[in-house]
Amino acid sequence: MPSRGTILPMKPACAACLFVLCAGASLNAQIPPAEPIVLAGGRLTVGGNVSATFGPEDPGFFNYTDYEDSVLRMLRLDLNASFRANDHLSLLGELRSQNVRAPQAYALYLRVRPWTTRRFDIQVGRIPPTFGSFARRSYEADNPLIGYPLGYQYLTSLRADAVPSSADELVNMRGRGWLAAYSVGNPVPDAGVPLATAFRWDTGVQAHLENEVVDLTASITTGTLSNPRLTDDNSGRQVTGRVALRPVAGLIVGASAAHGPFVSTDAVLDAVGSEGDDSFAQTAWGGDIEYSRGYYLLRVESIYSQWRMPLLEERLHSLATLVEGRYKIFPGFYVAARLDHLDFSEVASSSGPVEWEAPVTRFEVGGGYSVQRNLLLKLTTQFDRRDGGRTRHARMLAGQVVYWF
């Protein structure tokens, strides 16, 4: 079983069946489908999403994800399906392949709706995110740009399975999140974690209730925002909650909170000689605002995260903040921009107080053109600046094609 909570691999036969099903339906239509495919008398719905991103090598690993792929150089294939057994029970899943690797089960969960007249459901399995705003928009067509917000993608130097023995060892890894190594726990160099990853879903139970004004979601999961997992590695559970309000048309105001054990049991044992408790945890708070009116869309989101690590006196804090806007110039064409910053607290190293990770600022600007309703072309330029690491500045131009049905 994957050690870092990777997406659950599907048996080749299962993966092949789903892809053949989609391909067969497409062939019957003779043209690429423009809408989800509905089968079995309306009980089975199959959809898909394909995105191809063309960009340069990232010299500073600014855009690398926790699966060692660059967002700016990625071919992503998604196939999702929903089977409705009856008015109360549905099974939903999604296969995903990145850069021509074998398909993996990105999502697989059972949805239970106790009442048909109320908007309340319970979801069990590999469930959608509860925390924040951006991670709940899981497809490239929902992202007006190509890059991802720093709080959901940028790899810090922290790991759940390996911990620094001192503040100096932690500081030595500043700007090395794509390949961090520590002397306690797993000694093999590996990728660090973001504040809240948008590339993996967690495993657990989620309850959701909404009406025209209020949207409430709560979940209990195996991993944490930084390290979602398929299997447990520390006998702990994360509790997450979110509330979103729609007080007027076009305005959504959301707040989120999460807390759960972060460090693996093996790493804690190596560090302190006992399993400890859930005090070596990640605690996060989030706030987001979205406002749309006419041709405009404005989004603001912040994530504050705190980790408590063995052998370190200080708690490690980080704050990610983004401002994003989109404007439709004329039908089918829009321009967009996002300003993003990631900041970190200080630790007491031997050379004096220093931020435990190198702060990062990103500015991305670009636009998109809809060739048809479900075919989108994007072009963006991204500027990254980091106060540390081997590469401190980067400017990258990227293009993307997105098709969905």
- Rounded CA-CA distance 375/333 in Å is 12
- E-strand stretches of 127-202: 162-163, 184-185
Question: For residue range 302-326, what is the model confidence (pLDDT) as tens digits?
Answer: 999 999 999 999 999 999 999 999 9
Query: What does pLDDT average to over the chain?
Result: 91
DSSP symbols for 364-402: EEEEEEEEETTEEEEEEEEEEEESSSS--EEEEEEEEEE
H or E element at residue 18 = helix 12-29
- Rounded CA-CA distance 227/222 in Å is 9
Question: For residue range 106-149, what is the model confidence (pLDDT) as tens digits?
Answer: 999 999 999 999 999 999 999 999 999 999 887 889 999 999 99
Alpha helices by DSSP H, listed for 206-331, are: 265-272
| Residue 34 banded pLDDT, cuts 50, 70, 90 | confident
CATH architecture entry for 8-404 = Beta Barrel (2.40)
Closest to 134 in 3D by CA, of 73, 219, 192, 198: 198
Model's pTM, two decimal places?
0.90
Residues in the chain: 405
